[in-house]
Homo-oligomer: A and B are copies of this chain.
Amino acid sequence: MRQLFELCGRDEEVRFSPYVWRIRMAMKHKGLDFEGVAVRFLNKQPLESAQSKTVPVLNDDGTWVKDSFDIALYLEKTYPDAPLFGGAIAEGQARLLNAFIDNTVVRGIFPMIVADIHARLDEKNGAYFRETREKFLGCSLEEAQAGRDAALPKLRAALTPIRHTLMAQPFLSGDAPAWADYCLFGTLMWARIASDFELLGEDDPIHEWREGMLDMFDGYARAAKLGY
């Protein structure tokens, strides 16, 4: 049985990790079935078989793989049909694209939704999240999030390379979606599930692309349970 270990909120059906969503979409892309297994911040013992402290972790019928990008590379090698990269150069480039998306999009969004994420957690996991994240942020979750309207133009400006790409071609990976698309889309699913704060203007080409991604695989992502 193929298992994907996923972070969940108070409601076990609310699965909000940006990195897990990248793999969820990659598995759908390759037509691979999987069972999602819920994990909480304070109960990561199920991840120990992969010697990991973070999700996602994949148990592919006894083969354990951790780290979303390494899981993507593993899936590509093990199930080469429906390529996520289609070659060594694309795999190499994807590491830079991942780093760009993590640095710009994940870091840009984080303070904007951090109190909303907290609100999706149960008391015990919420207390852990607050303590660790307030240390990282250097302020309260609520203070960090309060600046989001003012920070929004800067985030949108940082998305310029993505916007320009989607004005020239339908997907980040060209004519059809592949890993780069799932990498960004998974990140945006994190915000969608945890928060009702709208990151993108309606006239933003990234908005239109996101709508298309929500519809893929019979509306798989659109049907995801929201945390609010």
What is the interface of chain A, defined by CB distance below 8 A to chain B? 83-97, 99-100, 102-104, 160-162, 164-165, 168-169, 171-175, 178-180
Contacts and interface: CB of A to CB of B under 8 A. Distances in A.
Given A89-B178, A93-B174, A99-B160, 13 more contacts: A92-B178, A93-B93, A93-B97, A93-B173, A93-B180, A95-B165, A95-B169, A95-B174, A96-B97, A96-B165, A97-B97, A99-B161, A103-B161
Nearest to A163: B99
A169 B88 CA distance: 12
Contact of A86 (B87, B160, B165, B168): B87
Contact of A96 (B83, B102, B162): B162
Contacts of A175: 88, 92
A97 B183 CA distance: 14
Contacts of A96: 97, 100, 161-162, 165, 172, 180
Contacts of A104: 161
Where chain A touches its partner, the secondary structure class is: helix
Contact of A83 (B89, B162, B173, B180): B89
A95 B160 contact: no
A168 B95 contact: yes
Nearest to A171: B92
Contacts of A90: 85-87, 89-90, 93
Contacts of A179: 89
A83 B100 CA distance: 24
Nearest 8 A/B pairs, CB to CB: A92-B174, A99-B161, A90-B90, A86-B87, A92-B173, A100-B161, A96-B165, A87-B87
B161 A92 contact: no
